[in-house]
Structure 1
Amino acid sequence: MMFSQFLHISGKQEVAAVAVPKTGSRLQWVDYARGLAIMLVVYRHVIVGMKRAGLPVSQLMYDLQEVVYNFRMPVFFVLSGIFLAGSLARRTAGEITKNRVFTILYPYIIWGSITVILQIVFSNFTNSKRSWTDLFNLLLDPRAIDHLWYLLALFNTNVLYLLLNKLMKDGWLHALLAVGMYVLSRMPVMHGNSFMADMCYFYLYLYVGVKLSSILLVPEKREKILNVRNLLWLIPLVLAGQYFWFQIWQMEDYAAEERKYLPLFFVINLLACYFMYIISYKVSLLPRTGWLAWLGKHSLYIYILHVFVASAVRTLILKTIPDLNVWVIAGICWTIALILPVLLYNWLRPFGFDKLFSLKQNN
């Protein structure tokens, strides 16, 4: 019953006026959702980095991040769609585009360039081998620049929605286009073109987020859709969906299998996102859980800096305590990679460090 409302797509104009608080307050549960998602993202990159460095990463350690690989990033794109709809109720498309340039595209170019340059200069100490031509991949093939591809995909999907929402007055046609782009993203023609593939793949998740804004930005509706009682029917579906996806994910020819089950995988991913949002909403109501919202509120800085931090911590540990248990190494790297980026950002702000993350005034 709730899930049909969760996925409802109307045929009317894309964004209706959504009642969004005009104060500086944030939706607490959203910060919790971002906090949970960024923890999963950082764990993956810590484990992958350890494996590339030749550490004896067990299959269990690796599978703990692989089994949630499919829905971690959709969580962010759906949330972005929710906020995009809220922004359109208050600001023009031009104002929002300028904001996205200043807060998403700008730090992507800055930190993508820094990443490539550092990997070239310190090539003897990194897992990635770069050349100066990799700077062109910032726009040509962003997946080649490790984890930062997400920022460009987020910018592209936001700006594309603003454009299509202005050009396409038929909501059903827009929905059909979003589905078509999703299917196209996994066709062989997109291989090696992560700029287009990521934009097409994640656009549908952002679009769903926009449609969900009329539910999740309204307190009365949000309390019903994110009620913890919905977990009674949701958890079995999520577990079954993740089990099925993970079995396909482990197949040698995953790309071909993914195309076969693409619509089902989309539903599986949305169910997992829904699960994350319910958990986040429930946790946000509990005492002494503000640390998770703190992580979510600073998720951009964590996302950009955590790979640098985890790599430095791992290198330091291997040079000082090389025989340390791999689980302990992972735990230390994971914890510091989550916390230190935020501390560095706040410590160095007085020296202009924040200018590397945004062009907005009074950031």
Structure 2
Amino acid sequence: MLGTDVAYSQTVSAPPRPVLRGYYPWVDYAKGMGIILVVFGHVLRGIEKAGIARGNDALVILDSVIYSFHMPLFFFVSGLFFYNSLEKRRSDGLIRNKFDTIVYPYIVWSTIQGVVEIVLSSHTNGHFSSGELVSILWAPRDQFWFLYILMMCFVVFIIFEVSFSKINYLFMSVILSFFCVFRGKLDAPFIFDLFLANAVFFSVGILCGRYMSFFEEVCRKYIILLLVVAGCSQYIFHFTYHFIYTRMGFSTLFLAMASILFFIGVSLNLEGKLNIIKIIGKYSMPIYLIHVITGSGTRIVLHGVFHVDDPYVHVALGTAMGVFCPIALYKYANAHGMGALFTMPRGRKSLLSPSSAN
């Protein structure tokens, strides 16, 4: 689709790299912890917008800590397996696969969530009109921006791979880090600004994926050092300099990378333990697609029906419903012939397969 076999053969003639295994259990742990933070963060913001938890400085700091790295973590992990997927499927096959498992659910669930917001407009924090449904093609809403930008990353990096004989991802990551840090001066459109903010993590993931065994060994062996670096970075960033995650600068980039490496170190050391996190990670995509509906629905019922205003109750129940209800809905849909809600019917490739999940 994006290049000939000749162009692709030039790509794979790059310097040798280790062949990746088919499945890395620790990845599900990383995605499990990451998606729990995603749901928790959105529930937290939902109750704040609804006026249930306002003026709480601790929650503001907690929000900034979470948002400083939780989405970059997913870009990084996706980058780790970029080469593995490219070698397995080639450029055109990888694009088709990502269309089925990223673009298709993006369109389906952006539409479903938009319709829900329209129907329940008097109860939700958002304001979505029927005319805006079409705009999801160029202006992603709410949490769906991640899928939009992730697909952009795959397309852009595939184009790079089929266009050049070899790519130095260390050099590319350095260049992208400057674009990430100074993107505010470029005054780029919203979509391209989001791409520049996150492409560097995808690129660094690709770089680390080329040396996966060494990368795993370092993260597992030096977990305590990573804890100290990530913890000190978060403390200095938030409590010494009183920054928040939206600040553009190399300190923000370093903070994200330090936190990502620590979380991956934790994931590597969790293998074989706390399987509930691994299970949650396995279902991270369905959770991401549905959690705003189920989490917000929990807030609406608690606040509007039962008149519960305790923010801790909202956070606990909202997060639990945001994580486990999507898993139940996904299983129900697949068991009753409604799997097309999640993946393109032509392929029937499950969102839970390693190739489509990464």
TM-score range relative to shorter protein: 0.7 to 0.9
Match among 197, 220, 234 for residue 227 of structure 1? 220
Instruction: Give the structure 2 partner of residue 123 of structure 1.
Output: 121
Tell me, in whole angstroms, the C-alpha distance in 1 between the residues paired with 2:162 and 2:90.
11
- The code of the aligned residue for 1:278 comes to G
- DSSP 3-state at the match of 1:91: helix
Instruction: Give the structure 2 partner of residue 211 of structure 1.
Output: 207
Give the conservation status (yes or no) of the 8 Å contact 1:70–1:269: yes
- Residue 53 of structure 1: how far off its partner (Å): 1.4
Superposition misfits of 4+ residues, deviation over 4 angstroms:
12-17, 173-177, 247-252
Which has the larger displacement, 166-175 or 36-45? 166-175
Superposed, 1:246-285 pairs within 5 Å as 246=238, 258=248, 261=249, 263-285=250-272
Give a deviation string over 1:220-265, Cα, whole Å, max 9, x none.
x35521224x13332232123223433599669x86x52xx2x332
Match among 231, 238, 241 for residue 230 of structure 2? 238
Give the conservation status (yes or no) of the 8 Å contact 2:77–2:205: yes
- Residue 29 of structure 1: how far off its partner (Å): 0.4
Instruction: Give the structure 1 partner of residue 8 of structure 2.
Output: none
Residue 194 (str. 1) matches residue 179 (str. 2): no
Instruction: Give the structure 1 partner of residue 142 of structure 2.
Output: 146
Give the conservation status (yes or no) of the 8 Å contact 2:180–2:196: yes
Give the conservation status (yes or no) of the 8 Å contact 1:103–1:358: yes
- Residue 310 of structure 1: how far off its partner (Å): 0.9
Instruction: Give the structure 1 partner of residue 59 of structure 2.
Output: 61
Residue 305 (str. 1) matches residue 298 (str. 2): no
Instruction: Give the structure 1 partner of residue 302 of structure 2.
Output: 317
TM-score by length of 1: 0.84
Residues 209 and 13 (structure 1 numbering): CA distance in 2 closer, same or farther, change over 3 Å? farther
Tell me, in whole angstroms, the C-alpha distance in 2 between the residues paired with 1:75 and 1:44.
15
Residues 18 and 101 (structure 1 numbering): CA distance in 2 closer, same or farther, change over 3 Å? farther
Give a deviation string over 1:270-297, Cα, whole Å, max 9, x none.
11100000001111243xx111011101
TM-score by length of 2: 0.85
Residues 15 and 328 (structure 1 numbering): CA distance in 2 closer, same or farther, change over 3 Å? farther
Instruction: Give the structure 2 partner of residue 19 of structure 1.
Output: 19
- Residue 109 of structure 1: how far off its partner (Å): 1.2
Residues 29 and 324 (structure 1 numbering): CA distance in 2 closer, same or farther, change over 3 Å? same
- The code of the aligned residue for 1:225 comes to V
Tell me, in whole angstroms, the C-alpha distance in 2 between the residues paired with 1:175 and 1:315.
43
- DSSP 3-state at the match of 2:67: coil
- Residue 21 of structure 1: how far off its partner (Å): 3.0
Which has the larger displacement, 202-211 or 119-128? 119-128
Give a deviation string over 1:167-217, Cα, whole Å, max 9, x none.
133524644653454345333512xx222112222111111111111222x
Give the conservation status (yes or no) of the 8 Å contact 1:43–1:65: no
- The code of the aligned residue for 1:352 comes to G
Residues 306 and 93 (structure 1 numbering): CA distance in 2 closer, same or farther, change over 3 Å? same
Instruction: Give the structure 2 partner of residue 72 of structure 1.
Output: 70
Residues 174 and 237 (structure 1 numbering): CA distance in 2 closer, same or farther, change over 3 Å? closer
Instruction: Give the structure 2 partner of residue 4 of structure 1.
Output: none
Instruction: Give the structure 1 partner of residue 6 of structure 2.
Output: none
Give the conservation status (yes or no) of the 8 Å contact 1:178–1:203: yes
- The code of the aligned residue for 1:47 comes to L
Structure 2 stretches lacking a partner, 5+ long: 1-11, 351-358
Structure 1 stretches lacking a partner, 5+ long: 1-11
Instruction: Give the structure 1 partner of residue 353 of structure 2.
Output: none
Residues 249 and 158 (structure 1 numbering): CA distance in 2 closer, same or farther, change over 3 Å? farther
Percent of counterpart pairs with the same letter? Answer: 23
Residues 362 and 160 (structure 1 numbering): CA distance in 2 closer, same or farther, change over 3 Å? closer
Residues 348 and 249 (structure 1 numbering): CA distance in 2 closer, same or farther, change over 3 Å? farther
Match among 338, 344, 347 for residue 329 of structure 2? 344
Tell me, in whole angstroms, the C-alpha distance in 2 between the residues paired with 1:15 and 1:123.
55
Superposed, 1:23-34 pairs within 5 Å as 26-34=23-31
Give the conservation status (yes or no) of the 8 Å contact 1:16–1:89: no
Superposed, 1:131-142 pairs within 5 Å as 131-142=129-140
- DSSP 3-state at the match of 1:141: coil
Residue 95 (str. 1) matches residue 93 (str. 2): yes
CA RMSD of aligned residues (A): 2.5
Give the conservation status (yes or no) of the 8 Å contact 1:53–1:127: yes
Tell me, in whole angstroms, the C-alpha distance in 1 between the residues paired with 2:251 and 2:14.
25
